[in-house]
Amino acid sequence: MGTNPSDMTKNIKTENSSVSVSNKEQNQEESTNVVKFVDTKSSEQKQLIPSADSVIQELDHRSNISGNKSPSLGASRRERPTTKNTALDYEFDASDTENTDEEHKTTTTINESEHASSSFVTNVLSNTKHELLNTFKIMKVASDIHDTLFIEDLEDSISPLLRALAIRQKYMHHSFQSYSPTIENFLAKILEEDNRYQRTSLNVNLHKREESDPSTATPIKVENPFSKPLLPPMDACVRVEKGIYHVYILNEQKQWIPSKYKSITMEEFIEDYTLISKMIVDGPLQSFCHRRLQYLKTKHDLHTLLNEVKEWSEVKSASHRDFYNVRKVDTHIHAVASMHQKSLLNFMKKKMQIASDMKVYKKPDGTMLTLKQVFDELNININEIDVDLLGVHADRNTFQRFDRFNANYNPAGKAMLREIFMKSKNHIDGIFYAELLKEVIANLEASKYQHAEFRMSIQGRSKDEWNQLAKWFLANKMHSTNVSYMIQVPRIFTAHRAGGKLKNFEELLTNLFQPLFDATINPESYPDLFRFMHYFTGFDSVDDESKPESSILTCHTVDPNQWNTNENPPYAYYLFYMYANILVLNQLRRSRGLNIYQFRPHCGEAGDVSHLATAYILAENISHGLVLRESSVLQYLYYLCQIGIAMSPLSNNSLFLSYNQNPFLEYFQRGLCVSLSTDDPLQFHFTKVNIS
């Protein structure tokens, strides 16, 4: 990048502060840097945040996109914008320039390098060795705040970014999911200005949480689920209207009236979704966000150079704490693949020794087979099989082949063995599956410092799935202090519809949510499900994102009761209707003092970047997020809102992206809220200690 001569007169201040600066504080400071310009100008602007219509019109004017057309989501896959040699090249952050008498600062001018060197040496020699070893070095870049007035991209980018932050705040507050406290405080300041027109034009009512309002899901209880008392039934009922459940209550005249629970309509979501989609392809906004991300990466590198030795010495000084005895939580792991391949093979061999005569499988003609007869019919000698013949580990043949990846769940390539050993619904009521998972749980409990959040599947084929899973969970006592559970819903409506199990998409939604509402309203009718609902934390949406989507979500998209073709709904369609019903369910459960749920789908592993725009609006956290590297705008929004991303580099290496290209480290250096997870240890790992 070329050097602007005017920049050579800027002052660089090096400050030795006695207060340690944590990464969290740096992230919070950076989260609000983008809007410091707004604070300075607030007294001069009549309308700080324009309306959604104004923002959309401005974006349409820049990109020549007609407001009546749905955005071209494929266009969002363009390359990252190259840095332009304009005034934007010389933009940098304005920092607080206030000095106090107590702070020791050395101000140097770059074009007076000799004076800077002597001043630095003088100050270093004046400090004791002890002081140098116990301070962090902070580099601040100072400039005149009014310089930013001439940066066109900055001024054009403020309004869309603020609107996007307010959109996510609305969806998170309605569903009682968490939202970044830094952005929360900033938006509260903006929305509570004296300018009433400004607040109305934003079209977002600031949701003020009461002290009793939970910002996240209620912590999972660890007591025995059988000890949970059943609540009495409440005078309420639910009805499905356009795929979304609505709660009705009895008034004094014994009439059913709609409750005051908040809800989001499809039309409202499409309006917000359209705005975010247009922001993704906006040129000036892309340039601004790309530069901000580059700045964050450089800031991390500079902090590392200045403070790495000090931070490492502090890590060593923490007694009884190292990598092996700090608590680690695997927030993205599928229960069916939570064990490694050797554990599965040993379990199968053990069962052949002690339960070979146990009847475990019922053939379509009604014939019952023992475990030994099953292996004989499959022509498998369990004593000769090894992990290579077991064939459950992913290899290079699964890269870009999600179909082969799913086939690896079948031990030795036999679906019969998967049904016997790895399913909760079978002829033996999932006993083997429960025992196999208990071995994994026992290893977690023995390690003391490892925890996991297993994902269990609900297909949505029938309402009985919930009750069957709850009975299996309670009968086998699957609760543990080291484990919690999530419910994953595969996006395979097409398969169920083709098999004649579902008539339309609304029937799938009914099978998913009707039992949950019934168990919440009248726990005595579903006692097992009511107790089980205390032990899962949220919902996930899973499937192959690389599948092409033939339809785009628009205001003309049909309602779920009219979606009766074999075509699979788009990703955004699935996520919206799951979110909309979780929103109502959370409000109902909170009114009864029960735990509430998060929405944390698989997103951004492959497919279009528009999936990440949908999750930005609706989801508290996501899993994977690889495609986020293709959109500077969304990546910067995910950074500002500190949206959690559970990443699985080993899983990605076998499916979609080689290990050395994985963006995990880059996300971490830029300050995104990322964590490491295992995904499927059965297919990607070799040891019992998967998370380390």
pLDDT tens by residue, 314-339: 888 888 888 888 889 999 999 998 88
Which H or E run contains 646? strand 644-647
CA distance between the termini of the chain: 40
CB 509 within 8 Å of CB 467: no
CA–CA dist 59, 284 (Å, integer): 10
Residue 623, pLDDT > 50, answer yes
Average pLDDT, the chain: 78
Which of 80 and 262 is assigned the larger pLDDT? 262
Whole-Å CA distances, 673 to 295, 417, 538, 576, 676: 17, 39, 19, 23, 11
Predicted local confidence at residue 370, as pLDDT: 92
Structure-token match 């906006």, residue found:
282
pLDDT over 70 at 181, yes or no: yes
pLDDT tens profile 364-383: 888 899 999 999 988 888 88
Sign (positive or negative) of CA dihedral 247, 248, 250, 252: positive
| pTM for the structure as a whole | 0.79
Q: 270 with 554: CB under 8 angstroms? A: yes
Residue appearing with tokens 């920049």? 7
Q: What is the pLDDT of residues 637-677, one digit of tens each?
A: 999 999 999 998 888 787 778 888 999 999 999 999 999 99
Quick: pLDDT tens for 539-571.
999 988 888 887 788 888 999 999 998 899 999
Query: pLDDT at position 653, please?
Result: 81
Element (H, E) at 174: helix 152-174
286-309: pLDDT as tens digits: 989 999 999 999 999 999 999 998
Domains of the chain: 5-212+266-317 (no CATH), 217-260+458-599 (no CATH), 340-449 (4.10.800.20)
Q: What is the pLDDT of residue 129?
A: 46
Higher-confidence position of 599 and 12: 599
645 within 8 A of 663, measured Cβ to Cβ: no
Confidence of residue 55 (pLDDT cuts 50, 70, 90): confident
Token pair in block for residue 85: 């040699």
CA dist 440 and 347 (Å) reads 11
- In angstroms, the CA 631 to CA 77 distance is 7
What pLDDT is stored for residue 157 in this prediction?
78
Show the CA angle centred on residue 506, arms to residues 178 and 333, nearest 5°. Answer: 45
Q: Summarize pLDDT for 439-475 with one digit per residue, the tens.
A: 999 999 998 889 999 999 999 999 999 999 999 999 9
For residue 298, give the nearest of 156, 92, 96 by alpha carbon: 92
Q: Tell me what percent of the residues of the chain surpass a pLDDT of 90.
A: 45
What are phi and psi for residue 613, nearest 5 degrees? -65, -40
**Res 4: pLDDT:** 44
Query: Do β-strands 674-676 and 244-250 pair in parallel, antiparallel, or remain unpaired?
Result: unpaired
Q: What CA–CA distance (Å, rounded) separates 326 from 569?
A: 43
Is 104 one of the annotated active-site residues of the chain? no
Ordered strands of the 236-241 beta sheet: 236-241, 244-250, 256-258
More confident residue, 400 or 638: 638
Distance CA 174, CA 590 (A): 12
Q: 3-class DSSP state for residue 355?
A: coil
Question: What pairs with residue 225 in β-bridges?
Answer: none
Measured CA to CA, the distance from residue 501 to residue 429 in angstroms comes to 22
For residue 321, which amino acid is it? R
**H-type helices in 619-663, by residue range?**
632-641, 649-655
Whole-angstrom distance, CA of residue 195 vs CA of residue 277: 29
Which has the closest alpha carbon to 263: 489, 21, 624, 576? Answer: 576
140: helix, strand or coil: strand
Catalytic option among 174, 334, 479, 624: 624
d(CA 497, CA 491): 12
Cβ-in-10-Å burial (0-12, 13-18, 19+) of 435 comes to middle
| Model pLDDT, residue 60 | 72
- From the list 146, 80, 1, the residue with the least C-alpha distance to 288 is 80
Q: Is the pLDDT of residue 6 over 60?
A: no
Average pLDDT over residues 228-257: 90
- Please name which of 689, 599, 578 lies closest in space to residue 644, comparing C-alpha atoms: 599
- The helix (H) or strand (E) run that includes residue 675 is strand 674-676
* Residue 78 or residue 566, greater confidence: 566
- The sheet that has 483-490: what strands, in order across it? 328-334, 450-457, 483-490, 536-542, 598-599
